[in-house]
Chain A
Amino acid sequence: MDQLPARPEHLALPDAEPVVALRGLTKRFGKVLANDSITLEIRPGRIKALLGENGAGKSTLMGMLAGRLAPDAGRIEVDGRKTRFASAREAIAAGIGMVYQHFMLVDAMSVAENVLLGQEPGFLLSPRDMERRVAELAVRYRLEIDPAARVGDLSMGEKQLVEILKLLARDSRVLIFDEPTAVLTPAETFRLFEALWSMTSQGKAVVFISHKLEEVLAVADEIAVLRAGKVEAELRPEEIGSKADLARIMIGKDVLLEVDRTAAEVREQVLEIRNLTGLGLADINLTLQRGEILAVVGVAGNGQKPLVEAVCGLTRPPRDTIFILGKPWREYYADPDWKHTLSYIPEDRLGLATMRNKNLVDNMLLTTRKGFRKGPLLRTGQAEAKTRALVKRFDIKPGRVRVLAWQLSGGNLQKAVLARELFREPRLIVAEQPTQGLDVAATEEVWRRLLDARDMAGILLVTGDLNEALQLADRVAVMYRGRVVAQFPVTDQEQVDRIGLYMAGVTES
């Protein structure tokens, strides 16, 4: 993680008129004021970083700039003229393009088809011609990609390059990147930065949204810090003394998301994975005891999902490879108890962990229903009372139980899922990206509860956030291409320093 490139002698273009200016932009979602009268200027040839914690309003702001959301108040000026974008199409026509966190690519089509969609050279198409054009574009900006490849077969880093090519093919003047490095290895991150510098040197304006301080300091010419929907400060990197200074502006505190972790008592083994090969994994050997947290880190797409799905019973692993609470997988999943067993807190809160159109009581029963059964019947009264109690204890807003899952904010939804799963008093918890998209307050609360849960369980923490892993875990395992390439205690500083290398597949020879 500390392996980021030093900023080269990158000459920002001299001050030019802003390509895009945001003046007093405001956006509300229901009662939440996501953006409060924001004013910013974006100039050509510069990389402007938009820094802020989750929930500060960065994505909403860029959503408006990219035409996907309509502002409730304020205006956008392009080349000094007031414009209004009724759709993404109009924003793109005005030269503003966005590379989203979740790629908007058609897996079934080729790279060239994806890049040139909406930009085709003529009415009749020739695949060869399209591939040639895309190849030329890639060469011009020094991006390595095969135009004929099927997008569904590409890695995350390559898919991101396709997204960039899409914008370049449109001669976009402003390119917005929403948390682009979440899915990249450190090496790919460096390549991305080089691409960004290449683009700005050719006159493009780049907006780089992030909550990662190191990257922002490494790549940006200007930094705008957002907090609670407002622009808290606008600075240049030279003006910043330390990461701590920046953090303070970002969240208003000196603290950089750190937790006090005392070691817990380690007891019996709750999970054993032995020579697991298959399902996209190779030769996985892991053990987990009650009382400890094992963090599994790595760039997304290197086997974490298959591992989690196998352990949690969503896919079937080969025989005698996974043992849960001492039982072989098959035996455990034949008839699992609801209490004192495995609890899975998935990444997909709304689609998997909860039922979006059902209320909190129904959602609470989803994994605890057997605890409320009386023969063939269900004790709904008791379940409702219990749900009320949990809502109160975990302070889940709004305080009613009859709200539907989709009406809850990310933080409250995660708290609800946690409340439910902890109620099951599990012995083994699998938590997948538990604080993704949560603000600092919610993140700290989730962390605290996970640490407390060590009293009763062993926790397998799968996360892409290295800070989270290092703060919470006792041991760390790094995954690359379906293998565990390194496993070590978090106190081993030498290994911790090499995590970036491990994530990129560089192991000791």
Chain B
Amino acid sequence: MDWDILVALLAAAVQSGTPILYATLGEMLSEKGGVLNLGVEGMMSVAALAAFLTAHLTGSAWLGLAAGGAAGACLALLHAVVCIGFLGNQVVSGLALTILGLGLTHFFGTPFIGLAAPGFSKFSLPLLGSLPVLGDILFRQDALVYLSYLLPAGFWFFLQRTRPGLAVRAVGEMPAAVAAAGLHPLRLRFFTAVAGGGLVGLGGAYLSLAYTHLWTNGLSAGRGWIAVALVIFAFWKPGRAVIGAYLFGGVMAFQLRLQATGTNLPSSLLLMLPYALTVLVLVFSAWRGRAAGAPAALGVNIEPEG
């Protein structure tokens, strides 16, 4: 294979993997606090639309980004109210959120199909962009990709080296200990779930503002579910999430290129790749570590005291 093509593919992998990375880290944050949110697919979708509409109407991509984050956070808030406030089953609530989110996206987005909005374009970082190979792959991307490079380390630092991060980790493992320590487990879970939702929203915003600049239906294409699976694959550690996100980014980029260059493989089979890969990734993770590292209180609601 031509070297240039490989480099171009890797660069596309990074770009394609970035929304997945945001979404994975967002879901990971929520889960670290003990809240399982299966609504990621719906959240990414709604966030993409919110970001697009805002950018389209205001002319500012950054405002669109903020809107996307806010949309994700709002949906996560809804999930949090149902599960944390009303002790709703977290699995079913997340599913309901996905149904709702996808419905909202189609409903409000259909009039805008085919329209364009200002987005984020790629630019080369000074010095770093001139590096051979690495420069082409990593440092000729858009602003949100550069931002995402800082995310995993920031995630780790927040959880391991700050006071609120310690509380978040504790509430995901044993909320009773957090209450006994004089903190507010419910409040912590709310903040964590909503903040995680905001990150997921940023990932969704990326889809409509950077990955493409047009609005179409079905933009999320299952990435939300892939993000949920990747949290397990990553054993709830941010570093491994990066590997997973770029892996899937690569597969999706590869899939696009194959379709574009025309192959004998029917498109339906090609499109199956990411979903089949998700299953394989889960099998691999389970075979290796049996979902080790899951926060002990994940998915378990906190009952009110008498």
Could you tell me which A residues sit within 8 Å of B by CB distance?
Answer: 29, 68-70, 87-89, 92-93, 98, 100, 104-109, 113-114, 117-120, 122-126, 166, 170
Contact: A125 with B180, CB < 8 Å?
Answer: no
- B87 at the binding interface (Cβ < 8 Å): no
Residues 235-269 of chain B, each 1 if its beta carbon lies under 8 Å from chain A, else 0: 00000000000000000000000000000000000
Contact: A123 with B162, CB < 8 Å?
Answer: yes
What residues of A have a CB within 8 angstroms of the CB of B177 in the complex? 104-106, 114, 117
**Given B176, B183, B306, which contacts A89 in the complex, CB threshold below 8 Å?**
B183
- B163 at the binding interface (Cβ < 8 Å): yes
What residues of A have a CB within 8 angstroms of the CB of B180 in the complex? 88, 92, 98, 100, 104, 166
Residues 142-182 of chain B, each 1 if its beta carbon lies under 8 Å from chain A, else 0: 00000000000000000011110111011001101111111
Minimal Cβ-Cβ distance residue in B for A126: B161
Contact: A108 with B296, CB < 8 Å?
Answer: yes
- B2 at the binding interface (Cβ < 8 Å): no
- B184 at the binding interface (Cβ < 8 Å): yes
A257 to B160, CA, bound (A): 52
> Contacts A104-B174, A107-B173, A124-B161; is A88 near B179 (CB within 8 Å)?
yes
What residues of A have a CB within 8 angstroms of the CB of B165 in the complex? 125
Main secondary structure on chain A at its contact with chain B? loop
> Contacts A118-B183, A166-B181; is A29 near B306 (CB within 8 Å)?
yes
What residues of A have a CB within 8 angstroms of the CB of B179 in the complex? 87-89, 104
A109 to B169, CA, bound (A): 9
> Contacts A105-B174, A120-B166, A125-B166; is A92 near B182 (CB within 8 Å)?
yes
- B4 at the binding interface (Cβ < 8 Å): no
Q: Min CB distance, A26 to chain B, in Å?
A: 14
Which of B169, B177, B179 neighbours the largest number of chain A CB atoms within 10 Å of its CB?
B177
Contact sample, A vs B, 25 pairs, CB 8 Å cutoff: A29-B306, A69-B305, A70-B306, A88-B180, A89-B179, A89-B184, A98-B180, A104-B174, A104-B179, A106-B170, A106-B173, A106-B174, A108-B173, A109-B166, A113-B170, A117-B166, A117-B178, A118-B182, A120-B166, A123-B162, A124-B163, A125-B160, A125-B162, A125-B163, A125-B165
Q: Min CB distance, A349 to chain B, in Å?
A: 18
State the interface size on chain B (CB cutoff 8 A): 23
Contact: B306 with A120, CB < 8 Å?
Answer: no
Contact: A119 with B181, CB < 8 Å?
Answer: yes
Q: Min CB distance, A498 to chain B, in Å?
A: 38
Minimal Cβ-Cβ distance residue in B for A103: B177
What residues of B have a CB within 8 angstroms of the CB of A69 in the complex? 305-306
What residues of A have a CB within 8 angstroms of the CB of B160 in the complex? 125
Q: Min CB distance, B292 to chain A, in Å?
A: 11
Q: Min CB distance, A146 to chain B, in Å?
A: 19
Minimal Cβ-Cβ distance residue in B for A167: B180
A109 to B166, CA, bound (A): 9
What residues of B have a CB within 8 angstroms of the CB of A170 in the complex? 182
What residues of B have a CB within 8 angstroms of the CB of A93 in the complex? 182
Contact: A117 with B170, CB < 8 Å?
Answer: yes
Contact: B306 with A117, CB < 8 Å?
Answer: no
A205 to B89, CA, bound (A): 43
What residues of A have a CB within 8 angstroms of the CB of B181 in the complex? 92, 104, 117-119, 166
What residues of A have a CB within 8 angstroms of the CB of B163 in the complex? 120, 122-125
Q: Min CB distance, B186 to chain A, in Å?
A: 10
